[in-house]
Copies of this chain bind each other. A is one copy, B any other.
Amino acid sequence: MNRPKPKLSRIAETLGVSVATVSNALSGKGRVSPELVERIRATAAELGYVPSVAGRALRTGRSGVLGLVLPNIANPLFPQIAQAIEHAAAGAGYGVLIANSRGEISTQTEAIGRLIERGVDGIVIVPRRGTRIVEAGCPIAVIDSPSTPGNTVSADHWEGGRRMGAHLRELGHRNVLLIGNNTTSNVQSDRIGGLKAGLGPNAATETLWIERLEAAGGAGCPLGLVEKVRGGVTAIATLSDLTALRALTELQGAGISVPDTVSVTGFDDLIWSSVVTPRLTTMRMDMGSIAEIAVTALVDAIEGDRRGNGGEETSGPVSAPISKVPMELVIRQSTGVAGVGSLKAKNRTEGELAS
């Protein structure tokens, strides 16, 4: 059991051929007779040969590693993104190096720098809202929103919003409260725009921004939803499942029934959306497709550098053939027909504990 990491030269001397031939056989590039290729493959497998990434990287100038920069690694959406990117990258033969930018814009630049120093071939980045990445010294795939300049691919947030709005309209909701986090996010503006379009011109909407509310009331302060419901709101459409959850518990804690009295919707289909009671109606992103498109575009740019355009190094955002990926409406239990259990009917319905 004394095999100190077999290298090309070991295979070569085992078979009595040159390293170059072994390399050619394994990569299928040079001219090697079919039967020799077969023998080389066999002994390589037998010896458990694993090419040295370092050696290859040094020679070819490419590391086979992609960087992944996320705006806020603690974001509950992160697992989905990371998993999807990792999977897509692995499929294309790339590894994924992570870096977080902790929401700070300076840290984001620094994180990119660290990745470059580590020799990544390309970077997938979900930019901090309001940031625009232009240059970085290597190809970049930007996942933000279709309305962001330089965006490579993302979910079709506007259309997602529109369909969610339509869903509520079809249920008869005409007085809807919209809740977002902050006004500067392109993703959130897209969703809001779509939501309003889907609800149609006959619906009355009001928009609440949590960031503003908390600036006054402190983090985690009540959103004052009970008053809104008393004021006639029959549906609350949030721009994130986290907010939906916050709304849901605030309402339930006040004894307001969801969805009988008021419907609640979210966005993103986060992990808990399907375990809470009532299970959350939400709009899911197809992270798999998004990741696949982003990684493919990136890899094309990386490998195109070597082949096609002689020496013209891509450096900056790449573009993909498809840049908007449809979202999927997941109808569960938190939305219902408007007016079923209006606040007046509340006492009667709540009495039936066993229902």
Contact = CB atoms under 8 A, between A and B. Distances in A.
A95 B118 contact: yes
Interface stretch (A19-27, A124-132, A145-153, A347-355): A347-355
Given A95-B118, A249-B252, A351-B354, A220 B79 contact: no
Interface in A276-322: 276-279
Interface stretch (A30-38, A70-78, A156-164, A196-204): A70-78
Interface residues of A, number: 65
B246 A275 contact: yes
Contacts of A52: 58, 119
Interface stretch (A8-16, A39-47, A80-88, A170-178): A80-88
A345 interface: no
A166 interface: no
A54 B76 CA distance: 34
Contacts of A242: 271-272, 275
**Chain B CB within 10 A, most for which of A54, A82, A278:** A54
A98 B86 contact: yes
Given A86-B99, A96-B98, A279 B78 contact: no
A174 B86 CA distance: 47
Contact of A53 (B55, B63, B74, B96): B63
A277 B246 contact: yes
Each complex incorporates copies of this chain amounting to 2
B90 A114 contact: yes
Interface in A249-279: 249-250, 252-255, 257-258, 271-272, 274-279
A353 to B, nearest CB: 5
A133 interface: no
Contacts of A68: 98
A279 B253 CA distance: 11
A332 to B, nearest CB: 9
Contacts of A116: 50
B277 A222 contact: yes
A63 B50 CA distance: 15
A100 B76 contact: no
Given A255-B353, A351-B353, A73 B82 contact: yes
24 contacts: A53-B63, A54-B58, A54-B63, A57-B58, A65-B118, A73-B79, A73-B82, A76-B79, A76-B272, A86-B98, A86-B99, A96-B97, A96-B98, A219-B274, A220-B275, A226-B354, A242-B272, A245-B272, A246-B276, A249-B277, A250-B277, A253-B277, A352-B354, A354-B354
